[in-house]
Amino acid sequence: MNELITPAAAAELIRAGRALALAGPESALRQLPAGNWVGGTIPYFMAAGGGTVVEDGALLFATDLTGLGEVRVASYAAHELASITAATADNGVALTILPAGSDTHRRFAQEAASYPEAFLKPTVGWIAGVHLNDLGRVTPKVFDGHDASAHEDRAVVAHIGLPPDRLADLEIVNIFEPGDGPVLRFEQTGFQVGECEIGGQRRRLSDWLAEQGLDHGRLPLVGDFAGAHVNVSFQSVDAAAGTVQLYAPVFSGVDYHVARPVPDYAQAFRERLAALSPDGLVMSCNCILNFVFGELQGKSIGGLQGPVTFGEIAYQLLNQTLVVLRVR
């Protein structure tokens, strides 16, 4: 199951003992009983009819994990995040949801790649958010179904232990490629940038973005991690303060370029997804910035359904990326 359902239908599944991953408005998640589930707040989805916004608590998105293997729900404080992989079965996966803007979110973003066995026991999931009209007024939350409790600064995890004949496969679909502009390098790892090295010269990133007409924030930075492209999206550019806020951290020692423009997001995703096998789909999530900048409301991107989130997780935090979990 990967679809929008009513809170009443979700509650019935929970009472029947199903293991679920749920996404929806806070008002919908608060209607649910305790059980074997995890959830996070978000009102944006890629659904059967295309991009959808749920304006009230009438619907939430449900992914049924029951048939995959043993599913155990847990939650972790920010200082406990390194324990997630240790608590995951050797042949398992940790479906993880973090609340946007929390210390848990920030620490995971900066530290996840260094956790023990981080790339042997995959962590996959997303960052909970809110309606864009509610930014600054409403706090993103995650839900620990064990007692149906809501949290603003914890990680909730569905630890999925797979049988020996099955294997988790994470797919990262990134429609962005590095552009032809100068290399950007950063002295410190973090979510905020003042000065950095641009084409070998040290200067304020905010000034350079404004000069290049890139302060709109539509194009992410693309980092080169040993040949793998990892996006970092712009949250805001404060010209007066000379600072740039990011949705994910930049890392020292990594070369970044501003991404090449993508003229049609929906078509780019359809082309990329057409090359992927449809077998074994468990869940997928896409980024709110792709939803907004790509004008994906009402558009289909190739049949994948799932939440549209404030960040994606595939081993580590990602931005402006589509993540797919399959179990084969």
The DSSP H or E segment spanning 205 is helix 205-211
What is the reported pTM? 0.95
Look at residues 50, 54, 23, 62 and name the one whose alpha carbon lies nearest to residue 302: 50
Confidence of residue 279 (pLDDT cuts 50, 70, 90): confident
For residue 91, pLDDT over 80 is answered with: yes
Provide the pLDDT for residue 308: 98
The per-residue pLDDT for 188 is 94
pLDDT class of 226 with cuts at 50, 70, 90: confident
Question: Could you tell me the pLDDT band of residue 275, with boundaries at 50, 70 and 90?
Answer: confident
What is d(CA 255, CA 32) in angstroms, rounded to the nearest whole number?
45
Average pLDDT over residues 65-82: 98
Task: Decide: residue 184, CB within 10 A, 0-12 exposed, 13-18 middle, 19+ buried.
Answer: buried
H runs (alpha helix) in the chain = 7-15, 26-29, 83-86, 103-111, 205-211, 265-274, 288-293
pLDDT of residue 303: 79
Query: What does R_g of the chain's alpha carbons equal in angstroms?
Result: 19
Least Cα distance to 317 among 178, 126, 153, 173 occurs for 126
Q: Distance of CA 165 to CAs 66, 76, 130, 162, 169, Å?
A: 16, 29, 38, 8, 13
Lowest mean pLDDT among 1-15, 198-212, 268-282: 268-282
pLDDT band at 169 (very low <50, low <70, confident <90, very high): very high
Using pLDDT thresholds of 50, 70 and 90, give the confidence band for residue 232: very high
Q: What is the pLDDT of residue 274?
A: 86
Rounded CA-CA distance 140/257 in Å is 30
Q: Are 256 and 222 in contact (CB under 8 A)?
A: yes
Does residue 44 contact residue 294 with C-beta atoms inside 8 Å?
Answer: no
CB 269 within 8 A of CB 302: yes
- What is the pLDDT confidence band of residue 273, given thresholds at 50, 70 and 90? confident
Q: What mean pLDDT comes out for the span 292-316?
A: 94
Mean pLDDT, residues 158-168 taken together: 97
The mean pLDDT value for 44-66 works out to 95
Strands 221-225 and 123-128: unpaired
Asked if pLDDT for residue 278 goes beyond 80, the answer is no
Under 8 Å between Cβ of 99 and 23: no
Strands (E) in 138-182, as ranges, are 142-144, 149-151, 155-161, 168-173
**Residue ranges covered by each domain of the chain:** 2-172+267-327, 184-258
**Chain-centre distance of CA 249, in angstroms?**
14
Lowest model confidence (mean pLDDT) among 227-236, 271-280, 316-325: 271-280
Residue 313 has pLDDT above 80, yes or no: yes
Helix H or strand E encompassing 53: strand 50-53
Helices (H), 189-308: 205-211, 265-274, 288-293
pLDDT-derived band at 315 (thresholds 50, 70, 90) equals: very high
For residue 316, the model assigns a pLDDT of 94
Q: How many CB atoms lie within 10 A of CB 226?
A: 5
Is the confidence at residue 22, as pLDDT, over 90?
yes
Whether pLDDT at 127 is above 90: yes
**Residue partners of 227: CB distance under 8 A and separation at least 6:** none
Contacts of 88 (CB under 8 A, 6+ apart): 94, 121, 123, 159, 161
Cα separation, 86 vs 76, in Å, equals: 12
The residue among 275 and 280 whose pLDDT is bigger is 280
Average pLDDT for 102-114: 96
